[in-house]
Amino acid sequence: MSFLTPGIISITQSLVFTGLFTFSVVALRRFLEKSADIFLPTWILVSISILGLPVLITCRILFRDWRQRHDAAALGARIAPRVKGKWFANLDLLKMMMNNYYRADGLVDIMKDQGPVFNMNILWENMVFTCQPEHIQLILATDFGNYVKGERFQRNMSSVLGSGVFNSDGDMWKFHRSMTRPFFSRDKISHFDMFDRHTDSAISLMKARFRAGYAIDFQDLIGRFTLDSATEFLFGSCVNSLATGLPYPRNIAPIVVSNSTTSDSSGALLSPSNTAFSLAHDFSNAFLEAQEAVSSRERFSMIWPMLEIHKDKTEEPMKIINAFIQPIVNEAVAKMKSQNKLGETKGSVDKIDEHETLLDHLVKQTDDPVILKDETLNILIAGRDTTAATLTFVVYFLSMYPEIMQRLRNEILDKVGSSRRPTYDDIRDMKFLRAVINETLRLYPVVPFNVRQCTNATTWPSPDPTQPPIYIPAGAIVPYSVFMMHRRKDLWGPDAEVFDPDRFLDNRLKTYLAPRPFIFLPFNAGPRICLGQQFAYNEMSFILVRLIQNFTSFTHYPELCPSEFQVPPEWKSAPGRKGTDKFFPKMTLTMYSGGGLWIKAQEAD
């Protein structure tokens, strides 16, 4: 374990800074003594050393606030409403974000009070939160050049995401994006053979478990499906995590008896049967742990290093992840070297051979092991948990609304039949299927919160057109939430919290979405729009068609989740989805169902 943890580094930096300040005070005293015969008594010296820094920082904040008010006025704008927390430096807001089980509770309360844009001002930092579509449009698209992920975000994330596509700006980001983009061309993403094989394995596992009378954790199953699909798509060889057995519900003895039985972080009993099991299982857990660590850094704002004094919380999980990825990268580099293809397509990134994987393609651009590892890990994170969680939420809704399940099944039987494999054109034509996926992404967008940093001072239009625009100072952190925007009644209509796929098909489409397309942004927008959007729609549609051809209904068993993920009784009386839904949304970098989604399904004849 490295001695230089983020906490130690941060404390050392603070001590050095404070030491330099004290040293400057002592030097000033000497200077005054020698050059002007002015003698400062020791008590003044001690007072300056102790109080000097806080006073300086306070003056700096007061001056900054004055200047911002002045600059805003010069532009005919106003500063964003400031949240007045109950605790010193708005630390109660920080606590709220940490304990905010139903992801947006506290923020929704603030929004009711202040409107959809407000400065959270935690630890006096300008943190201008918005869930206004016009602002998000500016951030992501029309004024893209003025917003970056920024150094702060990159520092927090770098021990996991490195300098990959999610965690870079400027030329590095352009480089990653241009290397990867050709891989998501229509031609590349419409080969469904790979999905077909993994879907067959997943459905066989489900049937076997249901026939034995057990429920399955659908989220776990589908996470294996997307891991196998993503590793095959990226590396050309999949980790076969589906082949290694599924967890049983807690308190149930596993049927497959082997040398040892383990239990995972949710307490579910597992039946390991080979080393591939432990590789895939360890990798999945490490993946979750690493993402949990970096996402809590984002939420703890600038004080997170203090929570990592003893150890860097990403170090252990990253060892496991690197042990998984590095040999694959090394092998790809060695293969290209042996074929003398290294650097072959430098300068022509769009040229892809027919059977080339993403990694083969990357290796032709560079043999830098860090860039290769960062890029593959970033795409793996992007491609695995997002689709797995969305499919989990779709199946949850299908279990909750049998009439929607029936309509979807009718569409599938009508367009594809009960056993044929769907084609690209079938999927494109299934309007209700797309509406079900979109409605799920609206209520549970897997990237519910995101953040950028504003480079130059600017203004945003006021949500209330009678008010002046809002001034955004240079360097401000701008968190935004599509989760909250997707549920706003003023944007989506009075039934905004109702699960109703028809809103993407009937008159409501013309009334709400068509005139303001930026109210629906599950994949982001602008130059950084999700590269895998079409791949994800294809993958999710394909497996949903196959599942619904094989099963006529899903039944959800929330009671099989570990107790810490049971929906708290007080939620039941809450308005909207919080009072309706029967799973526990949790979030790392992406949202998922805490404790999984335990279901049974009725096999089709």
Report how far Cα 17 is from the mean position of its chain's Cα atoms: 35
Is residue 387 close enough to count as binding ligand HEM by CB under 6 A? yes
Q: Tell me the three state secondary structure of residue 64.
A: helix
CA 405 – CA 555 distance, rounded (Å): 11
Angle at 212 between CA 209 and CA 214, to 5 degrees: 60
* Closest distance of CB 114 from ligand HEM, Å: 25
CA 277 – CA 272 distance, rounded (Å): 6
Is residue 485 close enough to count as binding ligand HEM by CB under 6 A? no
Closer to ligand HEM by CB, 77 or 232: give it.
232
* Closest distance of CB 321 from ligand HEM, Å: 17
* Closest distance of CB 562 from ligand HEM, Å: 25
Is residue 381 close enough to count as binding ligand HEM by CB under 6 A? no
Please report, for residues 4, 16, 58, 335, the alpha-carbon distance to residue 20 in angstroms, rounded to integers and kept in the order given.
Answer: 21, 6, 19, 53
Chain positions 38 to 67 lying near ligand HEM, rule: CB under 6 A, are none
Closer to ligand HEM by CB, 248 or 444: give it.
444
520 near 486, Cβ under 8 Å?
Answer: yes
User: Using CA of residue 481, residue 487, residue 489, residue 491, what is the dihedral sign?
Assistant: positive
Is residue 382 close enough to count as binding ligand HEM by CB under 6 A? yes
* Closest distance of CB 372 from ligand HEM, Å: 15
Strand segments, DSSP code E, in 401-495 are: 449-454, 458-460, 470-472, 477-481
Kindly tell me which residue out of 115, 116, 150, 383 binds ligand HEM, with binding defined by CB under 6 A: 383
The 3-state secondary structure of 216-258 reads EEHHHHHHHHHHHHHHHHHHCCCCCHHHHCCCECCCCCCCCCC
Closer to ligand HEM by CB, 532 or 595: give it.
532
Q: Provide Rg for the chain, Cα atoms.
A: 27
Region near ligand HEM per CB under 6 A, out of 26-34, 414-422, 443-451, 496-504? 443-451
> Do the annotations mark residue 238 as ligand-binding?
no
Measure the N-to-C terminal CA separation of the chain; round to a whole number of Å.
56
Closer to ligand HEM by CB, 121 or 291: give it.
291
Map residues 143-182 to x or -, x wherever contact with ligand HEM holds by CB under 6 A.
Answer: ----------------------xx----------x--x--
* Closest distance of CB 390 from ligand HEM, Å: 4
Region of residue 350 (phi > 0: left; psi between -120 and 50: alpha; otherwise: beta): alpha
Kindly tell me which residue out of 115, 422, 522, 595 binds ligand HEM, with binding defined by CB under 6 A: 522
Closer to ligand HEM by CB, 5 or 524: give it.
524
Kindly tell me which residue out of 392, 399, 524, 538 binds ligand HEM, with binding defined by CB under 6 A: 524
- Which residues line the annotated binding site? 530
Q: Residues interacting with ligand HEM, by CB under 6 A?
A: 165-166, 177, 180, 379, 382-383, 386-387, 390, 446-447, 450, 522-524, 528, 530-532, 535-536
- Which residues line the annotated binding site for heme? 530
